[in-house]
């Protein structure tokens, strides 16, 4: 099946043409932002989508043509919350660059620490994920910083982090403390210790924003009124866009009490937030909708958080948010090695009540809208970047293959460590058989 699709996809007319200028025709086009086109074309010029429509289109003379009969064209998928490029081998500390010392590191920028040679990058993009929002997350869930740094939107192709970065900084990353006292054999702290730690976390967060706001006022006065020079503090400098409303905060909160407290705090601070994780977001969906707060719905491949919950509670989260009218994207909440399975998280959501087109949108147009990048990626529309995938079928189906991939019009190599090992041992057994 895959070899046939590759033959079809690579049936390119042998004519001259720029690498980022070409025509895909005869394929089923799935724009996401509009109706599907059964027998259509996508025209790409200089890395941008120049046209899309029915296949009765005559390409300009000399243009490279890709015959897509029997194939499908989709926008590249986006993972909205990952450590791709920052973490390689979890058990090898030197290969993990997700955090620095300290609880408050708003000045940290994820894109600068990206490792373009990470083996996770080609494996992830080979499954149709062309872009990720990578973010520093602290040194593990139990020791995560309160403000751990700035997220970046990167494409999964490029020689350097500068070449890979599409937009940065994109959002600030904040961890909200557990609001309720935890019990169980895994819990090592007493109730009093947990409450003390929670209150200290909230107090330190409030103090950080108070100091950042005072710093912002002082800097403005310096610029506008010529007051004495104020020393630069890179931490509070990084928070100014958040205080001005130019940059959102991704607040990681799962439980109802966490989400409600985070929303109330954001309202007091007059800042924009996005809820990350949001396992209980459906329980406060009316609140989130009324405040216009989006959710990065994560962890669909997990057990329910509470013993009394239904077995399919995680899988139903996206459908419940959709029915409540809350804008959301689906994230995997997996370590970098398993980000390639993101499409199958969305397919699980579709199997448990989310309309299939909304499941695809949750990996494409919805995250683009949440983070304000829908003018560049997320759908197939004229004027947007030609960041797209050509597949043998629905990319949310595990049987479908990605046979061609383009990022900003540039064809991407789909070979991975997996394919190299497959070819290596295929050759080994071929030689053993011949002997």
CA angle 424, 429, 431 (to 5 degrees): 95
Contact predicate 110/150, CB 8 Å: yes
Q: Are 2-75+413-434 and 77-377 the same fold in CATH?
A: no
The strand pairing partners of 82, in sequence order, are 134
Predicted pLDDT of residue 212: 94
Per-domain boundaries in the chain: 2-75+413-434, 77-377
Look up residue 147 and give its DSSP letter: E
Sheet strands side by side (includes 147-155): 77-82, 129-134, 147-155, 165-175, 249-253, 273-277, 295-297, 328-330
For 428, other C-beta atoms within 10 Å of its C-beta total 10
Burial degree of 352 (CB within 10 A; 0-12, 13-18, 19+): middle
330: closest CA among 308, 311, 347, 355?
A: 347
Report d(CA 71, CA 199) in Å as an integer.
56
Instruction: Give the residues across from 328 on adjacent strands.
Output: 295
The dihedral over CA atoms of 110, 114, 120, 122, expressed in degrees to the nearest 10, equals 120
Q: Does the predicted TM-score (pTM) go above 0.85?
A: yes
In whole angstroms, what is the distance from residue 381 CA to residue 410 CA? Answer: 17
d(CA 238, CA 105): 9
pLDDT at 396: 95
Dist CA 315 CA 299 (whole Å): 9
CATH classification number, 77-377, choose in 3.30.470.20, 3.20.20.140, 3.40.50.10490, 3.30.420.40: 3.20.20.140
- Rg of the chain on CA atoms, in Å: 23
> For residue 290, what are the contacts with CB-CB under 8 A and spacing of at least 6?
none
The rounded distance, in Å, linking the Cα atoms of 37 and 365 is 18
Predicted pLDDT of residue 11: 43
**Residue 53 backbone dihedrals phi, psi, to 5 degrees:** 175, -160
Q: Quick one: pLDDT at residue 284?
A: 96
Domain 2-75+413-434 grouped into CATH 1.10.287: no
Work out whether strand 72-75 and strand 22-29 pair parallel, antiparallel, or are unpaired.
parallel
The two beta strands, 402-407 and 410-411, are: antiparallel
208-221: pLDDT as tens digits: 999 999 999 988 88
Helix residue ranges per DSSP H, 270-374 = 285-291, 313-324, 342-351, 356-361, 365-370
**Residue 18: per-residue pLDDT:** 53
Going from the C-alpha of 100 to that of each of 106, 156, 172, 336, the distances in angstroms are: 11, 24, 15, 19
pLDDT in tens, 234-281: 999 999 999 999 999 999 999 999 999 999 999 999 999 999 999 999
Which residues in the chain show pLDDT less than 50? 1-17, 138-143
Evaluate whether 74 touches 30 at the Cβ level (below 8 Å): yes
The string of DSSP codes covering 6-21 is: HHHHT-B------TT-
């Amino acid at each position: 099946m895959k070899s046939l699709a590759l033959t079809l996809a690579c049936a390119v007319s042998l004519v001259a043409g720029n690498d980022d200028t070409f025509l895909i025709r005869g394929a089923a086009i799935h724009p996401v932002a509009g109706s599907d086109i059964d027998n259509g074309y996508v025209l790409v010029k200089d890395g941008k989508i120049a046209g899309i429509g029915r296949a009765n289109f005559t390409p300009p003379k000399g243009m490279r043509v890709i015959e897509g009969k029997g194939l499908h064209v989709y926008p590249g998928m986006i993972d909205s919350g990952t450590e791709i490029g920052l973490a390689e081998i979890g058990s090898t500390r030197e290969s993990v660059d997700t955090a620095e010392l300290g609880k408050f590191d708003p000045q940290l920028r994820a894109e600068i620490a990206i490792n373009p040679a990470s083996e996770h990058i080609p494996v992830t993009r080979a499954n149709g994920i062309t872009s990720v929002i990578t973010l520093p997350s602290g040194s593990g869930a139990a020791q995560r910083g309160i403000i751990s740094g700035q997220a970046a939107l990167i494409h999964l192709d490029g020689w350097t982090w500068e070449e890979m970065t599409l937009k940065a900084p994109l959002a600030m990353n904040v961890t909200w403390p557990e609001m309720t006292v935890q019990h169980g054999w895994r819990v090592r702290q007493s109730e009093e210790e947990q409450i003390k730690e929670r209150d200290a976390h909230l107090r330190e967060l409030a103090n950080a924003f108070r100091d950042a706001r005072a710093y912002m006022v002082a800097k403005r006065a310096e610029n506008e009124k010529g007051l004495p020079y104020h020393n630069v503090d890179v931490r509070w400098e990084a928070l100014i866009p958040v205080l001005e409303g130019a940059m959102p905060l991704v607040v990681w909160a799962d439980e109802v009490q966490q989400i409600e407290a985070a929303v109330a705090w954001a309202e007091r601070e007059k800042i924009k937030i996005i809820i990350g994780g949001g396992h209980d977001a459906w329980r406060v969906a009316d609140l989130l909708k009324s405040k216009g707060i989006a959710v990065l719905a994560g962890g669909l491949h997990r057990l329910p958080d509470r013993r009394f919950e239904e077995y399919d509670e995680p899988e139903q989260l996206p459908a419940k948010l959709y029915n409540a009218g809350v804008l959301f994207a689906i994230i995997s909440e997996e370590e970098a090695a398993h980000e390639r399975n993101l499409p199958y998280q969305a397919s699980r959501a579709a199997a448990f009540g989310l309309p299939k087109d909304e499941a695809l949108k949750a990996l494409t147009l919805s995250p683009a809208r949440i983070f304000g990048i829908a003018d560049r990626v997320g759908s197939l529309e004229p004027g947007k970047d030609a960041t797209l995938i050509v597949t043998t079928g629905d990319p949310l189906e595990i049987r479908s293959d990605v046979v061609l991939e383009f990022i900003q019009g540039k064809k991407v190599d789909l070979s991975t460590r997996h394919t190299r090992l497959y070819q290596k041992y295929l050759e080994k057994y071929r030689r053993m058989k011949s002997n």
